[in-house]
Amino acid sequence: MNPLRVRARWKRAAGRDEGSVAIEAAIVLPPLIMFLCLAIAGGRLVVSGAKIDSAAEDAAREASIHRTVAAAQDTAHAAALESLDDQGITCASASVSVNTGGLNVPVGQVGTVTVTVSCTVNLSDLLLQGVPGARTLTSTATSVVDQYRQRGD
């Protein structure tokens, strides 16, 4: 084929494509924006989940070093909420559940303290249809109570 004919054919075809970029953008842009919002929502959930895991671990450790059940529960609640606040997690609602059964075992036996932290993370600010307004994330951590440490009543 003659190269001049090919060029002429391309020039004619290119002249008929006016406005096709706008149509392509109108077709591609909404799914692209939706994908971006879903990626941001997923990232927010993953990061928040890791921070809630850390808060549960902090609370369990704090509870395991106390000698009495009341002190362990109070300290675990405070440690979990403080850890969430320090890490910049704003929960729509947060709850901390502490199982201090390990503080009641006799000295010389291994006991554990378990803390469950639940936090409701807001997603409504993403303005994406189909994404719920909030998602509740829960994390549980266990810490060992020193078996030779005296326990209180």
**Per-residue pLDDT tens over the stretch 71-80:** 999 999 999 9
The reply to whether 44 falls in a domain is: yes
**Which pLDDT tens digit goes with each residue over 49-59?**
999 999 999 99
Our separate counts of H helices and E strands in the chain read 3, 3
Domain-embedded: residue 102: yes
Closest by alpha carbon to 139, among 87, 101, 103?
A: 87
Q: Which pLDDT score is estimated for 130?
A: 59
State pLDDT tens for residues 96-111: 999 988 888 888 888 8
pLDDT tens digits, 22-40: 888 888 998 998 888 788 8
Compute how many other C-beta atoms are within 10 angstroms of the C-beta atom of residue 113.
27
Say how many residues make up the chain: 153
Confidence (pLDDT) at 101: 86
Per the domain annotation, does 140 fall within a domain? Answer: yes
- The pLDDT of residue 124: 74
Statement: residue 42 has pLDDT above 70 = yes
Residue 89 pLDDT exceeds 60:
yes
- Provide the domain limits for residue 24: 15-145
Region 83-97: mean pLDDT is 90
* Mean pLDDT to the nearest integer, 135-139: 92
Q: How many domains does the chain have?
A: 1
Q: Which residue has the higher pLDDT, 113 or 109?
A: 113
Of residues 55, 62, 64, the one with CA closest to residue 117: 55
**1 within some domain:** no
As a whole number, the mean pLDDT across the chain is 83
CA distances from 134 to 44, 95, 130, 139 (A): 11, 15, 12, 17
In a domain, 115, yes or no: yes
| Domain assignment present for 10 | no
pTM, rounded to two decimals: 0.74
Residue 152 belongs to a domain = no
Confidence at 128, pLDDT banded by 50, 70, 90: low
The verdict on residue 71 lying in a domain is yes
